[in-house]
Structure formats: structure tokens, C-alpha cells
Amino acid sequence: MKTISKTFLLGILTLSLFSFTLLDEPTKVTWETLRDVTFKKKWSAEESMFILYPTFGAKVAGLKDKEIVLTGYMIPVDVDANVYVLSANPYSSCFFCGGAGPESVVQIKFKKTTKRFNTDDRVTVKGTLKLNADDINELNYILTNSDLVL
């Protein structure tokens, strides 16, 4: 039986550890990636109005339930309840006040109460991406178990 060299075993061990490290790293996502979605107007009898419902493209669907990192502008919705939205654009040109679309905002659900953010604080957030196509009371993109990346 042949003996395996220590160098070979050390190389295999290093490669294995490197592979596991890569698996644990969150995916860095750009706002361009989140634009891989189309919207269709559907009548909502409950709301008595047309609502935009998303169909997520392959790029976005592949990120579902994955840990991602995203940078954007913070929009405080309810600071006492720790409710924030991350936007691709500053507040003056975001989805709510400007001409951007619903794919340009992500609802942030922090793991724990965080510091208070000011409107347009530019931050990077890490969390698990959830895709919402049905609940009109939440945004289409939701980042759960979120933490601020320093």
C-alpha cells in the first residue's frame, strides 16, 4: 500500500477548509440583480384597486432564502418599532417619493433592535432574502435575520 505524503494531505485539508469558508460567505447582491423581476397589474377586490404583483426572474429566484449582502440608503418607517426599508436611491428619488419601481426597495427585519438610522444613511446589510409575491402589506423583497455590516 502506498503512503500518502503529508504535503498532499495538508493540501486536501486546506482545500476542504477553503471550500467550507466559501459556502458560508453571503452573496453580494447589487440592485441591478434585483431588477430581474416583472410586474403585472391585477385587480384586488379587497383593496378596490389594481396592485402590481411580481414575477421573479431566474437571477432573483436563485437568491431566495440565501444569505445576501446589499448596500443602499436607509429609510426609517417606524424607528420605535425598528422598521426600516433599504433603498437603491436616496429618499427624494426612491420608490415612495420618486420615480423608482418596487424592485428598488427591500424591507429590513433586523435580528435585534439596532441603532436608530437617519433617512439616507448609506449602509450595508446582511440577511436572508425572502421573496414576497402575495402579501400586499409587505414589500416584494424582505431581508430577514438582518445585521448591519461594518
- Per-residue pLDDT of 39-84, as tens digits, reads 999 999 989 999 999 999 999 999 999 999 999 999 999 888 888 9
CATH number of the domain to which 114 belongs: 2.40.50.870
- What pLDDT score does 8 carry? 47
Classify residue 7: in a domain, yes or no: no
Which phi and psi (to 5°) does residue 9 adopt? -65, -40
Give the range of the structural domain holding residue 136, as residue numbers without chain letter. Answer: 26-149
The reported pTM is 0.81
**Residues 86-110: what's their mean pLDDT?**
87
Beta bridge partners of 37: 56
Classify residue 3: in a domain, yes or no: no
Beta bridge partners of 76: 84
Is-contact 107 137, C-beta < 8 A? no
State the residue for C-alpha cell 421573479.
56
> Residue 10 belongs to what H/E stretch?
helix 6-24
Classify residue 124: in a domain, yes or no: yes
* Distance (Å, whole) CA 119 – CA 103: 19
Q: List % helix, strand, coil for the chain (3-state, nearest 5).
A: 25, 40, 35
List, for residues 106-145, the tens digit of each pLDDT value. Answer: 999 998 877 789 999 999 999 999 999 999 999 999 999 9
Look at the chain and report how many structural domains it folds into: 1
More confident residue, 150 or 123: 123
Classify residue 109: in a domain, yes or no: yes
Which three cell numbers mark 23? Answer: 459556502
- What pLDDT score does 14 carry? 46
Which phi and psi (to 5°) does residue 75 adopt? -125, 110
Classify residue 9: in a domain, yes or no: no
**Residues 28-38: what's their mean pLDDT?**
97
Classify residue 45: in a domain, yes or no: yes
Classify residue 17: in a domain, yes or no: no
Classify residue 11: in a domain, yes or no: no
- Name the residue among 13, 5, 59, 51 with its Cα closest to residue 35: 59
Does residue 31 have a pLDDT over 60? yes
